[in-house]
Structure 1
Amino acid sequence: MNNSNYRKTSWNEPFIAQRADPYVYRHTDGTYYFTASVPDYDRIVLRSAETVEGLRDAEEVTLWHKHESGEQSIHIWAPEIHCLDGNWYIYYAAGDKDNVWEIRPYVLRCTGTDPMKDTWEEMGMMRAADGDEFSFHAFSLDATVFEHKGGHYYIWAEKTGVGRQVSNLYIARMESPNKLATAQVLLTTPDYDWERVDFWVDEGPAVLKHDGKIFMTFSASATGACYCMGMMYIDEDKDVLDPHAWTKMRYPVLKTDEEKGIYGPGHNSFVKAEDGVTDLCVYHARPYDEIVGDPLYDPNRHAMVMKVCYDENGFPVFSYDNKFIK
C-alpha cells in the first residue's frame, strides 16, 4: 500500500489484498473456493479452505495464463468458479492485445474432480442461443450463473449503442455450460444518476436468494470512488426471464463511506458462512479515493467481507458495521 492518503480503519482492512471482483463459492462438501481479478489481469487464480477465514492465508495456485497474442491475451477479468451437474467451470472475460477493449466472455472446464490440482481446458467463448443475433457481439463481461427451478441462468454485462456505449445487464437461460438456450433479455440499463458517473455502467451481477425472493446486486458507474452497488429483486415464483417481474431499487445499497475509509465498493458475490444460514457479501473496495491515472489499473482494490442482515420485510441490508467475525 503506497498511497499517501491511505487511512487505516477497522472497516477497510482487507480480507484478501489486491484481489478485485472477488468470487467465493461453497461446494457441497463444505469446501470454500476463492478467485478474483489480479492486478496484472494476466491469469486466473484459485485458493481453497475449509472455512471462509481460512481463505485469507490459503495457498493460491494459477490455473490458467493469458495467451501471448490474439484472443484472451489481455484484460483477464472477473473469474467465477461454478460446479454444474458435477463438473467444474470458470466463467471469465478477456480481451485481445490488438484490440484491448474487444472483451468477450469465455469458459474453462476442469478435466477432473479437484479444481485445485486437475487440469483446466479452454471451451472457448460463451455461445449465444441459436438465432440470437445480439449477444456477445460487443464488449461483454462479468458473467454469473445461478440455478432456478432446475435450470441454470446466465447474467452478464454487455455494451450497446453508438459512440460512447452504455453497459446493460442481460439474462438468458442456459442450454449447456457454454451455450445459451434463449435470446438475451434486458434486465437493467443505467437509469439513475448514480449509474452514470463518468460512464453509464451496470455490471458485476450477483445473485442472493432469501425468504421467497431472488435479489440481484450489481455495480454501477466508473471504477473509482463513484463505484457503488445497486439491487433488483423478483419473487421466486415469477418468471426470471420476464423483465417486468423484476423491481429495481431507486438508490444504491452500498456506496463510498469516507468516514470509514472505504471507497468504490462493488463487484460482489454471496456465499453462506459455515453455519449454512448466515449470508456473507464478499466485495472489493479501495482504502483511498485519490488515484493517479486510470482507476482500472490501480492495484489496491481489496476483497472485503461483510455479513448480510435482513430488515423486517426480508430485504438484505448492507452495512459496513456488519463485520465478518469468525
Structure 2
Amino acid sequence: MKTWPNPFITQRADPFILHCGQDYYFTASVPEYDGLEIRHANTLEGLREAKPVTVWHKPDSGPLSQLIWAPEMHRVDDRWVFYFAAAPSRDYVDGLFQHRMYALLCEDADPLKGRWHSCHQIITPLDTFSLDATYCQHQGRNWLLWAQKNPAVPGNSCLYLAELSNPWTIKGQPLLLSCPEYAWEKAGASVNEAPSTLIHNNRLFVAYSAGATDERYCMGLLWIDIDADPLQRNNWIKLANPVFSSSWENKQFGPGHCCFTVDERGRDVLIYHTRNHTGMKGDALIDPSRHTRLKYFNWRADGMPDFGLPPAENHTHKP
C-alpha cells in the first residue's frame, strides 16, 4: 500500500474531500480566510495539482465579512451545499469570536462553473459562537452535526446533532451530543469541535477534535449502533482516550479536523491537518503552517478504526 505525499496540500487547514460518483472535490480554509474554493479531480492524487477555483468571496462588511472557516461541500437532495462559518469582525466577545454557521447553495450540475447563491444562516436554539457544520445521511434522513458554545458548559464548544428539514433548517430540538470532560479535551482550551461521520459495518462513528489548536490538539471518537436512535444520548458511546494524537518521533503535531473518504480501490482514507512544529509561529490567525495530510487506516477485529500515528513528512510517495 502506497504512502501519500506528506504534506498532501500545503497551507490548507480544516480539509474536506467529497467523493461523488467518479469525482473527488477538495476544499479547506484558505490562509486569507476570505472565501470558498474547490479543487476537482477524478483521482485523489489528482487533487494535489488541480487548480483551485474560488466560487464565493466574502463581502466587505456584514455578518459574513470576516474569518471564513472550515468549509465543507456536500451533495444534499440534488443540490450542492457549502457549509461554512463566518464572523462579522475579528473581535472577541467574552473570550470567543462571533462565528455563526451558513449554508450556500448551487443548483447547477457543475459546482465549479455553477452559480452559488441563496446563503442562509443556520439558526440554532442557542444564538452563540458556532462552527464546523457537517452533513450526513443516516437512516434515510438528513442530519447536521456542529460545534457550539453552550453558556451552561465551561469551555469553548460542545458537539450538537439535529435532523434537517432542508439543507439550512434544523428540525426539532438538537441533541447535545458531547461536551469536553476528559483532561485531553480540556488541554489548553475546553473544546469539542470539527465532527465528521464514518459508517462501517453496523456502527455510525463520529470523530471530533479536542483541546487547544497547538500540539495538544487531538481526535476523539463516539459511536452508536447503526439502528439505534441517534437523538437519544444514552445510545452513544464515547471513548475515554484520544484516537489520533501528536507524534514527537514523526514531528507531526496537533492532528485533527478530519474527514474520511475512499480511494479509487475503495480503501479507507483519513484526511486531516497537522503542523510540523510545536506552538504557533506568531498569531494563530495568520499562521498558515497547518497542512492537509492523508493516510490509510485499518479496522480492528472488534470493529473499531485504528488510525495509528500521523506519519512523518516525505513530500513524495512510494509504491
- Which whole-Å CA distance do the structure 1 matches of 2:227 and 2:181 have between them? 26
Say whether residues 1:45 and 2:41 are aligned partners: no
- Which whole-Å CA distance do the structure 2 matches of 1:321 and 1:110 have between them? 35
Q: Deviations over 1:275-294 (max 9, x none)?
A: 23x11110000011142334
Residue identity matched to 1:173: E
Q: Are 1:45 and 1:62, in contact at CA under 8 Å, matched by a contact in 2?
A: yes
- Which whole-Å CA distance do the structure 1 matches of 2:4 and 2:20 have between them? 28
Counterpart of 1:15 (choices 8, 17, 22) is 8
Residue identity matched to 1:59: K
- Which whole-Å CA distance do the structure 2 matches of 1:320 and 1:305 have between them? 12
Residue identity matched to 1:228: C
Match of 1:112 in 2: 108
- Identity among equivalent positions (%) equals 39
Match of 1:27 in 2: 20
Match of 1:3 in 2: none
Q: Are 2:146 and 2:160, in contact at CA under 8 Å, matched by a contact in 1?
A: yes
Say whether residues 1:126 and 2:118 are aligned partners: no
Shift of 1:99: 4.4
Q: Are 1:173 and 1:180, in contact at CA under 8 Å, matched by a contact in 2?
A: yes
Shift of 1:149: 1.3
TM-score, with length taken from structure 2 = 0.92
Shift of 1:273: 1.2
- Which whole-Å CA distance do the structure 2 matches of 1:297 and 1:222 have between them? 16
Shift of 1:70: 1.4
Shift of 1:320: 3.6
Residue identity matched to 1:18: Q
- Which whole-Å CA distance do the structure 2 matches of 1:177 and 1:183 have between them? 16
Q: Are 1:166 and 1:201, in contact at CA under 8 Å, matched by a contact in 2?
A: yes
Choose 99-108 or 137-146, whichever is displaced more.
99-108
Say whether residues 1:78 and 2:74 are aligned partners: no
Q: Are 1:195 and 1:202, in contact at CA under 8 Å, matched by a contact in 2?
A: yes
Q: Are 1:70 and 1:98, in contact at CA under 8 Å, matched by a contact in 2?
A: no
Partner of 1:143: helix, strand, or coil? Answer: strand
Q: How does 1:41-190 map to 2 (within 5 A)?
A: 41-97=33-89, 99=91, 101-128=97-124, 134-135=125-126, 137-161=127-151, 165-190=155-180
Shift of 1:322: 7.7
Distance of aligned partners of 1:98 and 1:52 in 2 relative to their CA distance in 1, 3 Å threshold: closer
- Which whole-Å CA distance do the structure 1 matches of 2:152 and 2:281 have between them? 29
Match of 2:302 in 1: 313
- Which whole-Å CA distance do the structure 2 matches of 1:62 and 1:321 have between them? 30
Partner of 1:41: helix, strand, or coil? Answer: coil
Partner of 1:181: helix, strand, or coil? Answer: strand
Cα RMSD between the aligned structures? Answer: 2.0
Distance of aligned partners of 1:188 and 1:163 in 2 relative to their CA distance in 1, 3 Å threshold: closer
Distance of aligned partners of 1:321 and 1:224 in 2 relative to their CA distance in 1, 3 Å threshold: closer
Shift of 1:163: 10
- Which whole-Å CA distance do the structure 2 matches of 1:242 and 1:163 have between them? 19
Residue identity matched to 1:300: S
Say whether residues 1:243 and 2:243 are aligned partners: no
Shift of 1:113: 1.0
Match of 1:202 in 2: 192
- Which whole-Å CA distance do the structure 1 matches of 2:295 and 2:16 have between them? 14
- Which whole-Å CA distance do the structure 1 matches of 2:11 and 2:38 have between them? 14
Q: Which runs of 5+ in 2 are unaligned?
A: none
Match of 1:4 in 2: none
Residue identity matched to 1:27: C
Say whether residues 1:280 and 2:269 are aligned partners: yes
Choose 164-173 or 93-102, whichever is displaced more.
93-102
Distance of aligned partners of 1:118 and 1:235 in 2 relative to their CA distance in 1, 3 Å threshold: same
Q: Deviations over 1:163-215 (max 9, x none)?
A: 96431000000001110112111110001000101210000000010011011
Match of 1:299 in 2: 288
Q: Deviations over 1:78-97 (max 9, x none)?
A: 11111112111110000012
- Which whole-Å CA distance do the structure 2 matches of 1:203 and 1:186 have between them? 12
- Which whole-Å CA distance do the structure 2 matches of 1:287 and 1:35 have between them? 21
Q: Deviations over 1:302-324 (max 9, x none)?
A: 00001120000111000247898
- Which whole-Å CA distance do the structure 1 matches of 2:13 and 2:90 have between them? 24
Partner of 1:160: helix, strand, or coil? Answer: coil
Q: Which runs of 5+ in 1 are unaligned?
A: 1-9, 129-133
Q: Are 1:234 and 1:245, in contact at CA under 8 Å, matched by a contact in 2?
A: yes
Shift of 1:12: 8.6
Partner of 1:54: helix, strand, or coil? Answer: helix
